[in-house]
């Protein structure tokens, strides 16, 4: 019986990737791993889009196109699938195809405000400010009370050193959650770390205004200023 169990286990072991494959060129490893993933799950539209991204960045354009096509066929109406395809093209430095995928995203799922928000942040990360603003405005019009989407875009703008855009979006949404001090403090802290003292101090004031009798907030403020005294505080990207 022991021998039978061992023999039955051999095919499973044979399917495991050999560690040596990771010694290959990164593009080769990318393709091999995507192949393994697709063999396990060849039908999920979002995963197919991700496999396509790996193929594309691995220099396998034909395989990427096939994966993208399979992804869309699998679920034509899923906006997130189209967004992931767009991300792949932008990551590969091919914006024409990326914008085409974003157009398909909006046509396929015209009310997917969360997907639009993520896509707007992707655009901002790739340096397409005007296009990011336009898409985020579309997302916002679908629900002008979606605090989290607006807040996420503000933080993305801050991360991308778009100070005016970050301030604009935090101003737009902070009234929707008047008692939330944690996001205000996080925004202020990040602004200060990035050297935007006036913006940071403004949002420290708004942090206090949100919950002036919150002991945890005052404690976090104390710890923030203690941390700011560390030379390494502003060193990380």
What does the DSSP assignment read for 196-236? Answer: -HHHHHHHHHHHHHH-TT-HHHHHHHHHHHHHHTSTTTTT-
For residue 194, the SS3 value is: coil
The pLDDT of 163-183, averaged and rounded, is 96
- The pLDDT, as a whole number, for residue 20 is 76
Q: How many residues does the chain have?
A: 237
- Digit-coded pLDDT (tens) for 135-146: 999 999 999 999
Instruction: Tell which residue, 55, 104, 54, 107, has the closest CA to residue 82.
Output: 104
Task: Give the integer Cα–Cα distance in Å for 133 and 10.
Answer: 55
Task: Give the integer Cα–Cα distance in Å for 75 and 85.
Answer: 13
Domain ranges of the chain: 21-110
CATH topology of domain 21-110: 1.25.40
Task: Give the integer Cα–Cα distance in Å for 141 and 196.
Answer: 29
Secondary structure letter of residue 17 according to DSSP: P
Backbone phi and psi for residue 180, each to the nearest 5 degrees, phi listed first? -80, 110
**What's the predicted TM-score (pTM) here?**
0.89
pLDDT of 4 > 90? The answer is no
Task: Give the integer Cα–Cα distance in Å for 199 and 147.
Answer: 20
Please say whether the beta carbons of 170 and 156 come within 8 A. Answer: no
Secondary structure letter of residue 163 according to DSSP: H
pLDDT of 134 > 70? The answer is yes
* Residue with token string 């340096």: 127
Higher pLDDT, 20 or 224: 224
Q: CA torsion, points 126, 127, 133, 139, in degrees to nearest 10?
A: 0
- Digit-coded pLDDT (tens) for 8-59: 343 433 455 556 788 888 999 999 999 999 999 999 999 999 999 999 999 9
Token pair in block for residue 32: 């091999």
Please name the helix (run of DSSP H) or strand (run of DSSP E) that holds residue 151, with its range, or none.
helix 147-159
Q: How distant, in Å, are the alpha carbons of 92, 192, 194, 222 from that of 218?
A: 45, 17, 22, 6
Name the least confident of 20-29, 92-101, 183-192.
Answer: 20-29
Task: Give the integer Cα–Cα distance in Å for 49 and 73.
Answer: 11
Report the 10 Å Cβ neighbour count for 182: 15
């Amino acid at each position: 019986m022991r021998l039978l169990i061992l023999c039955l286990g051999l095919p499973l072991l044979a399917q495991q990737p050999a560690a040596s494959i990771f010694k290959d060129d990164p593009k080769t490893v990318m393709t091999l791993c995507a192949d393994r993933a697709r063999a396990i799950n060849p039908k999920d539209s979002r995963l197919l889009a991700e496999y396509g991204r790996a193929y594309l960045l691995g220099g396998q354009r034909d395989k990427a196109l096939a994966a993208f096509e399979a992804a869309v066929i699998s679920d034509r109406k899923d906006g997130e699938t189209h967004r992931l395809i767009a991300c792949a093209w932008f990551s590969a430095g091919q914006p024409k195809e990326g914008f085409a995928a974003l157009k398909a995203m909006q046509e396929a799922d015209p009310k997917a405000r969360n997907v639009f928000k993520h896509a707007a942040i992707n655009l901002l990360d790739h340096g397409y400010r005007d296009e990011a603003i336009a898409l985020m405005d579309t997302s916002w019009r679908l629900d002008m009370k979606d605090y989290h989407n607006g807040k996420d875009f503000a933080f993305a703008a801050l991360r991308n050193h778009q100070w005016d855009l970050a301030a604009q979006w935090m101003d737009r949404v902070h009234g929707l959650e008047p008692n939330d001090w944690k996001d205000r403090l996080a925004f202020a802290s990040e602004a200060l770390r990035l050297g935007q003292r006036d913006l940071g101090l403004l949002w420290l004031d708004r942090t206090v205004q949100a919950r002036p009798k919150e002991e945890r907030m005052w404690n976090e403020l104390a710890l923030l200023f203690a941390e700011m005294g560390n030379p390494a505080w502003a060193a990380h990207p």
